[in-house]
Amino acid sequence: MEYRIAQGWKFFCILISAAFSFGAICLIVFALNHMAPGLLVLGFILLAPAIGIYLDSTRLVLTVDQRSLTLVRLFTARSILLEDIDGYRRGDKNVFSIWLKNGGKSLQLPQMLERRKELIGWFEEKYEDIDARECDTETQALLENDEFGFTREDREGRLQAARKIDTVSSVAGFVFFFWALFIPRPYEVVMIGLFIMPWVAVYITWYYKGLMRLYKKKRSPYPSVVLLMWFTILSVFLSCLRDFHLYGFEKNAWSLLIGGSLLGTAICVMACRKAIASSTKKILTYGCIVVMAGLYSWSLLVFSNCYYDRSEPQVYNVHVTHKRIYHGKSTSYYVSLSPWGKFADGKEVSVSKSFYTEVVDGDPVQVYLKKGKWGVPWYIWGAMGNGTQ
């Protein structure tokens, strides 16, 4: 069987090669006319990928016979015996890799091959899914581990319950994330719930004594509530960035942040020590815990400092100097305010669409600077006579 590049991919490669060639020729002509040696070199550099992409598309071929598999590319040609193939793995973004016995280097099937689905189907018939095989092996070892129950039936029941919690917590993490960012009502209830959820995840991980892991691994038999941790912590962090604007972050604030981060890290490490012990990448695991504790502590500090602040504000009368809209993955609205407080050159702030459309250049705006519940100053603003932003 012989598999070459699919016609659609071949056309795409020719198009890309032509684009690089056109750009290279334009640069070379311009450089020769204007005596620009730097641009001349750049033009010839651009010719290399143009030629390489085209030649690779013409040479690409994968051949399978009764004994071996051979893949030929522009600069490489590799053959492997069919009897040396151990199995296959499916990765993200339609990646399909062939794995060899005795730890040999795996071979990835190019995405551009014609009849690629047919070839993958042939491999799936003839060889094992290595991820599924390893998952089955891990599951059997788990069910024989008396740390997770006195009998096999106990362990099976405990594993099923943990997997249900994994599914529910993952969905809950997504729901909380979108709830907090798009419809955070009632605001205080939502935020308090978000701050509680990471500790619920830590408790569940502690309760299952190592059966719950602190990572999600494809086709692993071990469940995890790590998505509930990450999504709720990320939710409160982004919500605080959106809703509260700090005027400064002084020494006392850093002390509270560092102290809270260290305390959160210590509690999480102690509660999840059995889950951490089973991790193959302990340094990465500890690093993730520190990052999560830091984001959580900062968010809790900012939320409690600003939302529960009852101090009298210092009012600054300013005016709008400029407006702009940023069109990215989402549309953002910005208003520049005239100098006030420590902002001697003025301050650009992100505002809601309604506020953006309400004001024009020159309109008066009031800025309210507050002391903060924990002594971390912050500010809000609003159009005169229309309440605060």
How far CA 274 is from CA of 91, 210, 348, in Å, comes to 29, 5, 48
3-state secondary structure of 44: helix
Burial 63-82 (b: 16+ CB within 10 A, else e): ebeeeebebeeeeeeeebee
> How much is the pLDDT for 384?
53
Beta bridge partners of 64: 69
Helix H segments across 183-218? 187-207
What six digits make up the tokens of 199? Answer: 């500790």
pTM, entire model: 0.76
3-state secondary structure of 249: coil
Helix (H) or strand (E) segment spanning residue 319: strand 314-327
> How much is the pLDDT for 387?
46
- What phi and psi values does residue 315 have, to the nearest 5 degrees? -100, 135
**Measured distance between the N- and C-terminal CA atoms of the chain, rounded to whole angstroms:** 67
- What phi and psi values does residue 142 have, to the nearest 5 degrees? -65, -45
Helix (H) or strand (E) segment spanning residue 100: strand 96-100
* Beta-carbon contacts of residue 260 (< 8 Å; ≥ 6 apart): 293, 296, 297, 300, 301
Beta bridge partners of 343: 340
d(CA 381, CA 387): 8
> How much is the pLDDT for 389?
56
Tell me how far the alpha carbon of residue 20 is from its chain's centroid. 32
3-state secondary structure of 327: strand
SS3 of 110-176: CCCECCHHHHHHHHHHHCEEHHHHHHHHHHHHHHCCHHHCCCHHHHHHHHHHHHHHHHHHHHHHHHH
Question: Which residues of the chain are modeled with pLDDT < 70?
Answer: 383-389
Q: Tokens 């962090």 identify what position?
A: 237
How many CA atoms does the CB half-sphere of 119 hold within 13 Å?
23
Beta strands in 34-84 (DSSP E): 61-64, 68-72, 77-81
What six digits make up the tokens of 331? Answer: 């549309």
Single-letter amino acid code for the residue at 154? D
Q: Write down all domains in the chain, each with its CATH number in brackets.
A: 2-126 (2.30.29), 140-307 (no CATH), 314-383 (2.40.50)
How many CA atoms does the CB half-sphere of 377 hold within 13 Å?
13
